[in-house]
Amino acid sequence: MAETLFAPGAAVPAAAVAPAIQTRELAKSYGRITALAGLTMSVPRGEIFGFLGPNGAGKTTAVKLLVGLTRPTSGEASILGAPVGDRLTRRRVGYLPELFRYQDWLSAREVLTLHCELAGIPRSRRSEEIDHALTTVGLAARADDRVGTFSKGMQQRLGLGVAMLGQPDLIFLDEPTSALDPVGRHDVREIIRTLKARGVTVFLNSHLLSEVELVCDRVAVVDHGRVIALGTIPEILGETNLVRMRITDLSPSAEIVFHRFGTVEIQNDWYAVRGMDAERIPDLVAEIVRLGGRVHAVEPRQQTLEDRFLQLLGGTS
């Protein structure tokens, strides 16, 4: 798909079918410090998109640029077919920052009312919007309770409710499951899936790889402000499977047998073979036994997103 970016003030043709997010060489520097270096990517509408990277990779900087909280040093970006910062388009974007805190003395309903006013939502729609948000995030029964009585998970739900006000087409979630327990993370995943079912594009910035693997349609891995891998989870993982085997009494000269089955890494008595079809495991075991080795354990498993993430950051592919 050809890239189409829009300069400020230019006409926006076919905005309805434009990607939810599109960037080209988007960069941000603070003096001599480069926070984001040449980010180029495209996010189609209606998908849950994971944005992954180590601390300092530029993830939060990218989100701030895309929602218009800071200006880029160079490069271009469009949101829902319009230039970043376009006021009308910003009304169609929701945002949950990583670090947020609402006033303890306000109730959940009062927090949502305040944000309806800040978002310019007409008074005639506010009650409906607030009730819809509270129901979706599971806080309808606590709508009039003070925020100061809420658990971390409930506050995170309230933050999601704020991001949903105005029924946005695109929502940015910056570490939405950070510091939550397993139940809280599950609840947030279900809310994200509900948003997708309504056609909302969700941009999920997270370092919790297991969460991303469970919920995202596609992911981008960024390092030093650049995308180093982008695709669906299967595309990122590739076809590589991993088999771990504990073997004794195998002579070093016989270890060459592994190279017929995949790439091997050896640590003490454990042999990790990557890229081997699981159906060939019996053949490998038979060869090891024939060569005098003793097989104590066989642990086949698919490569995880965490495995692949570490490989990518280590410069391997």
pLDDT tens for each residue of 146-187: 999 998 888 888 999 999 998 899 999 988 887 678 888 888
Q: What is the pLDDT of residues 96-124, one digit of tens each?
A: 887 788 889 999 999 999 999 988 889 99
3 within domain boundaries? no
If one counts the domains in the chain, the total is 2
Q: What is the pLDDT of residues 184-212, one digit of tens each?
A: 888 888 889 989 998 999 999 887 787 88
The domain boundary, picked from 208, 235, 262, lies at 235
Q: Which two tokens stand for residue 258?
A: 């592994």
Q: Mark whether 208 and 282 lie in a shared domain.
A: no
Q: In this structure, how many other beta carbons lie within 10 angstroms of the beta carbon of residue 237?
A: 17
Q: Mark whether 290 and 269 lie in a shared domain.
A: yes
Is residue 309 very low, low, confident or very high in pLDDT (cuts 50, 70, 90)? confident
The domain boundary, picked from 196, 212, 235, lies at 235
Q: Mark whether 43 and 192 lie in a shared domain.
A: yes
Distance CA 209, CA 92 (A): 28
Q: Mark whether 182 and 193 lie in a shared domain.
A: yes
Give me the sheet containing 33-43, strands edge to edge: 33-43, 21-30, 74-79, 82-83
Could you tell me where the DSSP H helices lie in the chain?
Answer: 59-66, 87-90, 108-118, 123-136, 152-164, 182-197, 209-215, 233-237, 281-290, 305-313
Enumerate residues 6+ apart whose C-beta is below 8 A from 117.
none
4 within domain boundaries? no
Mean pLDDT taken over the chain: 84
- pLDDT cut 90: percent of the chain above it: 35
DSSP count for the chain of H helices, then E strands: 10, 14
Q: Mark whether 142 and 269 lie in a shared domain.
A: no
Q: Which residue has the higher pLDDT, 65 or 308?
A: 65
Q: Mark whether 63 and 148 lie in a shared domain.
A: yes
Enumerate residues 6+ apart whose C-beta is below 8 A from 80.
15, 18, 20, 89, 92, 93, 169, 170
Q: Mark whether 31 and 125 lie in a shared domain.
A: yes
Q: Mark whether 163 and 290 lie in a shared domain.
A: no
* DSSP 8-state symbol, 294: E
**Domain residue limits at 164:** 15-235
DSSP 91-138: TTEEEE-SS----TTSBHHHHHHHHHHHTT--HHHHHHHHHHHHHHTT
Q: Mark whether 147 and 43 lie in a shared domain.
A: yes
Quote the pLDDT of residue 10.
Answer: 46
Q: Mark whether 119 and 163 lie in a shared domain.
A: yes
Contact 208, 184 (CB under 8 A): no
The domain boundary, picked from 235, 262, 281, lies at 235
